[in-house]
């Protein structure tokens, strides 16, 4: 479905600040992209803003750090499954 949103690879939320890691496609293959937003409600509908107040900035920094941390720890999930050849036992260094 063309209007269906892609499911994030990772999502983290602290209060009203939320980050998502999404897949993007470029000329050299897939790569992760990050989105950080402030959630707010208008008439019962949740909306997103990309502007932050002074008081939002500590949460923005924490959410950004946790998102970066996830990207570093889970590199295989960013580009799809990775295949590794089994090491040749005769060539293993001890």
4 vs 82 pLDDT, higher one:
4
pLDDT above 70: percentage of residues in the chain: 76
Q: Give the up-direction half-sphere exposure of residue 72: CA atoms within 13 A in the CB hemisphere.
A: 6
**Tally of structural domains, the chain:** 1
Spatial separation of the C-alpha atoms in residues 42 and 2, rounded to whole Å: 26
Spatial separation of the C-alpha atoms in residues 24 and 77, rounded to whole Å: 13
Is position 17 within any domain?
A: yes
Is position 72 within any domain?
A: yes
Q: pTM higher than 0.95, yes or no? A: no
Residue 45, both tokens: 């509908």
Is position 88 within any domain?
A: no
Is position 57 within any domain?
A: yes
Spatial separation of the C-alpha atoms in residues 8 and 21, rounded to whole Å: 6
Is position 16 within any domain?
A: yes
* Beta-carbon count within 10 A of 17 CB: 21
Is position 35 within any domain?
A: yes
Task: Give the residue numbers spanning the domain of 37.
Answer: 10-80
CA angle, 16 as apex, 11 and 21 as ends, to 5°? 20
If pLDDT is split at 50, 70 and 90, which confidence band does 1 have? very low
């Amino acid at each position: 479905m063309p209007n269906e949103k892609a499911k994030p690879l990772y999502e983290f939320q602290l209060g009203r600040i939320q980050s998502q890691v999404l897949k993007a496609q470029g000329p050299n293959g897939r790569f992760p992209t990050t989105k950080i937003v402030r959630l707010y409600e208008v008439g019962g509908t949740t909306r997103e803003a990309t502007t932050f107040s002074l008081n939002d900035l500590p949460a923005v920094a924490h959410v950004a750090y946790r998102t970066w941390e996830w990207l570093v720890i889970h590199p295989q999930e960013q580009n799809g499954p990775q295949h590794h050849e089994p090491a040749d036992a005769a060539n293993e260094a001890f």
